[in-house]
Amino acid sequence: MISKKMEDALNNQVAAEYYSAHLYLAMSAYFESVDLPGFANWMRIQYQEEMSHAEKLFDYIIERDGRALLKAFDAPQAEWKSTLEVIEETYRHEQKVTGLINDLTDLAISEKDHASQIFLQWFVNEQVEEEASVKSIIQQLKLLGDSKAGLFQIDRELGQRVFTPPATTTA
């Protein structure tokens, strides 16, 4: 059985993951509007990943005899000035999510909730990967400067990304 405090915190994270999904879908729409289908694809995959993260948390709450709730969240931003601005916003957002996951892990430790500690390690590892992936794109964009050919090449590479659902694990 999960504590009420842990249940509430996990439900808040479900909402944060759904917000992240909507933010990335908004970014995908932005990239479509500026004719960068590869970047749009990359963001669409991010959307799918965040949806799966929300569902993973949702199912975990239920598995631990908690009450999973769907909470409201604000609409995400929809306009940006440049490709680099979008990706830098993505990086800042992933850093924020990392902080939220770390806070959840700290709570699991303080609650002596060993099952949640183990469950959350998947998310800790996922955030390391997420931040590194986005930072790599930022570095590439900074290196190319104003090169349209370079932007085209990155767009093509990002268009190759496919969604791989996370492995199902139980606590």
The answer to the question of residue 71 being in a domain is yes
> pTM to 2 decimals?
0.94
Q: Mark residue 78 as left, alpha or beta (left: phi above 0; alpha: psi -120 to 50; beta: remaining).
A: alpha
**pLDDT tens string 47-106:** 999 999 999 999 999 999 999 999 999 999 999 999 999 999 999 999 999 999 999 999
**pLDDT tens string 110-165:** 999 999 999 999 999 999 999 999 999 999 999 999 899 999 999 999 999 999 98
The answer to the question of residue 125 being in a domain is yes
The answer to the question of residue 83 being in a domain is yes
The answer to the question of residue 121 being in a domain is yes
> Residue 34: which domain range?
4-158
The answer to the question of residue 167 being in a domain is no
Cα 166 → chain centroid: 13
Q: How many domains does the chain have?
A: 1
The answer to the question of residue 134 being in a domain is yes
- CA distances, 132 to each of 35, 82, 95, 122, 128 (Å): 25, 21, 10, 16, 6
The answer to the question of residue 11 being in a domain is yes
The answer to the question of residue 163 being in a domain is no
What are residue 60's phi and psi, to 5 degrees? -65, -45
Q: How far apart are CA 58 and CA 132, in angstroms?
A: 26
Residue type, 1: M
**pLDDT tens string 27-49:** 999 999 999 999 999 999 999 99
The CATH number for 12's domain is 1.20.1260.10
Q: How far apart are CA 107 and CA 105, in angstroms?
A: 5
